[in-house]
Amino acid sequence: MATYYLAVDMGASSGRHILGHMEDGKMILEEVHRFENGMVDKDGELCWEYDRIFKEVIVGLKKCKELGKIPVSMAVDTWGVDFVLLDKDEKVIGNTVGYRDHRTDGMDEEVYKIVPQEELYERTGIQKAIFNTVYQLMAIKKQHPEYLEQAETLLYVPDYFHFLLTGQKTNEYTEATTGNLVNALTRDYDYEVIDKLGYPRKIFQKLIMPGTSIGRFSEKIKEEVGFDLDVIAPASHDTGSAVLAVPANDDDFIYISSGTWSLMGLERTTPETSKRSCELNLTNEGGYNNTYRYLKNIMGLWMIQSVRHEVNDMYSFAQICSMAEEAKDFPSRVDANDECFLSPKNMTEEVKDYCRRTGQQVPETMGELATVIYTSLAECYAKTAKELEEMTGRTYSRICVVGGGSNAGYLNELTAKATGKKVEAGPGEATAIGNITAQMLKSGEFQSIPEARTIIHESFDIKTYEA
């Protein structure tokens, strides 16, 4: 009988349960459940539906039982920065607001009045993004101070699901670093910053490292799903898991974890919190095995996903890629990192309006829109590669693209052309693979990260695009 490990991988638009096991020296994946995700409007705020999502987590666990493939362990990974506050009765306080909500508008200035931007960066090494937890907590402090008074516990999203499964309250390190409140050097919460900003110390849990066992199912969950297992903390920030799955053991590459967001960067053993790094808005998020993900957050395929939704998903991503290729001579470009694309009412109109505002030709067809977005993304990748090379004082010969975006062949071609580097694309399921890899490292299926990465390289298709 195979030994199964379950990754519950939640993205901003969908979640899925993926079982992994080893067979003839290769990692085999099987998707057992998939569900929709997305923010919904609640009382004028963009919120996640955690109650509904958790029901889907349970449905997926029951499906494993039906298949007769009961995993020995499981782990949840999600996006970063978002969290819930629990009161003394372990009830969620307020709405479960998501990072695209506008409650944080202006909260950066409120934070900088107390802790200047450069100091915050020097201490935490985290790039400025208006949705970081540090600004979300300031929004709560200003708009709902009573929530912070009632709060006993802060749990990031994957921590919250791990809590619902086990009853254990933890904050996993890679996820916590995205919040801008963890000290880059000590790898612990920066309580000096937390105290200055007036956030209650007690709500922050002891940080645990990926690979830590959180506990087993609570009696209630065990009864509901009909089995028990070990719940492990993976690199619970999805990018942390995706980077663990990059199928390379040298250091001559830049990775792009490509999905709703494109996270482009390097794996390092020391943080870089200099003034120049702050100016370039590069970030030092926590990685597996005490590494740092030195990277830049780029808007990513969110723009294409949004444009596709606006025509009721009538085209597949592959069709959109070929339409973009047909319109490849369309000349206009946008700044893929402009905040206007973070949460517009209508992405299609926002792209057109940007071109209009900047005196460029306005895209009209789906192909023209897609070409503008893909080409702009590739140019943004090229600029970011130069910044990473400036900061490290060296050049890199190739780019490893992992995650869903590794399947966007046209974008990979454009990336190779724009950066002048070879692009190696795959695996597409990098986040789930990284999640499962953390569990397999814990159980001893793999003896080391290099061994795991070699097996990942041999188990999944990697496509090459020459510059």
Residues designated catalytic: 238
Question: Which is it for the CA torsion 231, 237, 239, 240, positive or negative?
Answer: negative
Backbone angles phi, psi at 258, to 5 degrees: -110, 115
Residues in the chain: 467
Structure tokens at 312: 């009721």
Structure tokens at 315: 């085209």
Which residues neighbour 336 within 8 Å (Cβ) at sequence distance 6 or greater? 298, 299, 300, 303, 373, 376, 377, 380
Which runs of E-coded beta strand occur in 26-164? 26-36, 40-42, 45-47, 73-77, 83-86, 153-156
Which residues neighbour 47 within 8 Å (Cβ) at sequence distance 6 or greater? 39, 40, 41, 95, 96, 97, 98, 101
CB 254 within 8 A of CB 265: yes
Query: Using CA atoms, how far apart are residues 321 and 301, in angstroms rounded to an integer?
Result: 12
Q: Using DSSP bridges, classify how beta strands 5-10 and 73-77 pair: parallel, antiparallel or unpaired.
A: parallel
Structure tokens at 167: 């009853």
Token look-up 């749990």 returns 155
Question: Which is it for the CA torsion 428, 429, 431, 433, positive or negative?
Answer: negative
